[in-house]
Structure 1
């Protein structure tokens, strides 16, 4: 209601929304309320969900006018320039829109994008209250604090079957000089000295890592960096470790996903697990807090392969880890594989009913209780390790907060566990 009131008072001709699929169920309600107070305004949807389901987004929401499936900097500008002539939208390559009769239309051609990320302006932080975001949990798994996020590349060349990259498979980078320029701007404007990198793969280009680290050190900026989403473990070597740690990196996340060599190949993750483990160990020896991500329940995955994931994660140098059950999001190769090979697995699956905690969907051929018990077992085996808890307390930025919340987390993660 507060959102709609604010929009009504502002009375924009165009309202832009962005959403991931886990929030997609809220879109129809929000759009409906906007249309009640501003019936002639255009409502535009972008972001991951729009890029995944494309024209389907218009079918899910009657009041939605336009879908921008991908990077929107150029296309949204063209939409604004087209207003109020809806017919002019037909000239925007790759745009999805609803004509005056209500018919969904997908324009031919690719959506126009900016190839050189250095040409994009800095985000318009002046339009939001940055301090409100410091009260919320960030992607880095530590309590709220003063920080800002950076995305310094777009695209990922890897083919992981569960992933839908709205930026495509060709990777584009902001230059080290441009990254530092943005950091200096944010540091001077907001007094922030901690930054999260949210790139899909920050260390894919090692030379860029080395150059950026050199620039930060030469300026003696005394910054802190975390990588809750952005480090591929099997691309980490001693030189990368030195570059990251010497510039102020204190936290990295590493995605194992599965410990099974067969599942690594099946899912096209193709992680070099020995190199991955070496990368974690090198970072941990430099005092970096290492968080991990694992996925359990891929199609055809066996009990033995689930146990492989538990064994590798629990025997690694990771300080913390999350064990997620696999969710087949629309627009991913996994979703398409299931439609062809295991359509029955999607019969009762509604992506509008999931959230960040996951969904009770079982893509394996194992009984539900077996899969979900392995998930609980993974948390138990991983965290019920005195040495791991001791090591975590030594590197965690806010150890008193950790002592407060760890028992609650462990209870929720392991209740109803039956350890085999």
Structure 2
């Protein structure tokens, strides 16, 4: 059926994890840019981030008073499923003929189940730009065959069908964010929120992606862009940085690549171009880089290009677990590259996951001890997350219970700091205690506090973050003590600190 598609509302659903706030929604900006390139001014585009201002479903409903959408495009992570289904239901209540599309992590890994919701019409699996643009074009044409659109899930006579996977080219320069879409968000407003990086050196920052996909085979990872490494050219990356610096006065950039240092020559070329351009900027790498392929040569160039912080994905100090989830890091090599990074004056962080399937208290302690005794300035102790649990919850409970909010509470509980979950050989209450112990021992080590105060660009912000971490850890211990008389099978529900002090 041919549809009138003129007004398109792109919405980033956001549910906070720990104390973190939203970062600018790059994926949504990429999709909006592709729609503008494809359809020029024949589409009216509106962009909303529910994380900015903590918008509710009712707030979004109010936005439609003066903007009747023909198409709603929702961008969501897995633990945001409840908000996605709630928004879709409201759309169909107010505008029954409006098509609802979902893309992002949730759509890529739970597309089959999303499509079983009658309020959701289409699900985009994998990289979204081309699929969304082709879908809009198809909806505008009568009798267009949707099966020719790769990366799409939809219903035919009530049954979910999924098309062939979408394959992107090795070079992704063509999929750039256009100036209009940067203008569509209040980029400076995001600086008021805590984020993955923690230490903001300048007044505000802008995130960028220089590559997509991760070719490594870690079993715990769910990379929305797949396992194929595909990247922008170094010259294209520099052009974007220069544009954002000149247009908005941006002096700080956070690189959210899945694995920036996979292609060493490309990474070095990007750094050298920034150095040669003489740009007065700062760089941070909060998403995590590979420690086992990092070199001192690249670190030197990164530092000269303005890098003041980077984070290594380490996950566990248990050799058994490193092998089990196919990360296979040489832990002594990791410890050494942490030392080298710190010696170059770069704030050095590490990501760790506690509570893997079958992980023992002894193995968790091994990881904590590695973090505490290393030269890391920052450590994030996440709870191990099995994204397959989302689909298990969908499969067992969802189909006939769309209004059961407990279902979505269960899905939210797969998030990194959920307190009611453990898949390890210790129960949830004990895992909470171990996470709190890790944070206390790491962040309140006297040498680390003193070194952090000297390294962080904003002393005021460092002290504030440290006090926030102390408050959250104390709160967690208080809650734990108040619930100490509960059974092991009924874990304590309370705060688990999330700090990037």
Identify whether the pair has TM-score above 0.5, normalized to the shorter chain: yes
Higher mean alpha-carbon deviation, 322-331 vs 214-223, is at 322-331
1:317-346 deviations in Å (ceiling 9; x for gaps): 1112111221211289x98xxx9xxxxxxx
The residue number in structure 2 matching 1:351 is: 411
* Ranges in structure 1 where 5+ consecutive residues have no aligned partner: 340-346
Contact 1:294/1:324, CA 8 A, preserved across alignment: yes
**Match for residue 392 of structure 1?**
452
Shift of 1:193: 1.4
Q: Is the 8 A contact 1:324 1:358 kept in 2?
A: no
C-alpha contact 1:329 1:351 (8 A) present in aligned 2? no
2:145 matched to 1:62? Answer: no
* 1:237–1:179 CA distance, 2 compared to 1 (3 A): same
1:374-393 residue CA offsets vs partner (Å, 9 max, x unmatched): 22221122122100000011
Structure 2 counterpart of 1:379? 439
Matches within 5 A, 1:160-175: 160-175=218-233
For residues 114 and 159 of structure 2, what CA distance do their matches in structure 1 show?
13
- Paired position in structure 1 for 2:71: 14
2:326 paired residue number: 268
In structure 2, C-alpha distance between the alignment counterparts of 1:353 and 1:28, rounded to whole Å: 17
Matched, 1:309 2:367: yes
Q: Does 1:119 align with 2:174?
A: yes
- In structure 1, which of residues 176, 181, 186 is the aligned counterpart of residue 234 of structure 2? 176
Query: Aligned pair 1:214/2:272, yes or no?
Result: yes
Q: How far, CA to CA, are the matches of 1:147 and 1:291 in structure 2?
A: 19
- What's 1:412 paired with? 472
- CA distance in 2 between counterparts of 1:145 and 1:7 reads 33
Q: Which residue number in structure 2 is paired with residue 49 of structure 1?
A: 106
When normalised by structure 2's length, the TM-score is: 0.76
SS in 1 for 2:150: coil
1:224 — aligned with what? 282
- Where do 1:145-156 residues align within 5 Å? 145-156=203-214
CA RMSD of aligned residues (A): 2.5
The alignment of Structure 1 onto Structure 2 pairs a total of residues equal to: 405
d(CA) in 2 for partners of 1:113, 1:172 = 8
Structure 2 counterpart of 1:73, from 107, 111, 129: 129
Partners in 2 of 1:145 and 1:56 — Cα distance? 42
Q: CA deviation at 1:352?
A: 4.1
Corresponding residue of 1:136: 193
Q: 1:355 to 1:348 in 2, by over 3 A?
A: closer
Deviation digits for residues 82-117 of structure 1 (CA, Å, limit 9, x no counterpart):
114476323212310134x4443222x212534421
For structure 2, the residue ranges without an aligned partner over 5 or more in a row are 1-57, 397-406, 482-501
Distance 1:131 1:401, change over 3 A: closer
Q: Secondary structure at the match of 2:292?
A: helix
Q: 253, 258, 269: which is aligned to 2:311?
A: 253
In the other structure, the counterpart of 2:381 is 323
Note the C-alpha offset of 1:21.
1.1
Q: 2:83 aligns with which of 26, 49, 52?
A: 26
Q: Does the C-alpha gap of structure 1 residues 172 and 322 become closer, same or farther in structure 2, counting only changes over 3 Å?
A: same
Instruction: Tell me the alpha carbon deviations over residues 280-339 of structure 1, each in whole angstroms, 9 at most, x when there is no partner.
Output: 11111111111221111111212221111011100101112111221211289x98xxx9
Q: Secondary structure at the match of 1:358?
A: coil
- SS of alignment partner, residue 45 of structure 1: strand
Give the whole-Å Cα distance in 1 for the aligned partners of 2:342 and 2:115: 47
- Could you say if the C-alpha distance between residues 376 and 135 of structure 1 is closer, same or farther in structure 2, counting changes exceeding 3 Å? closer
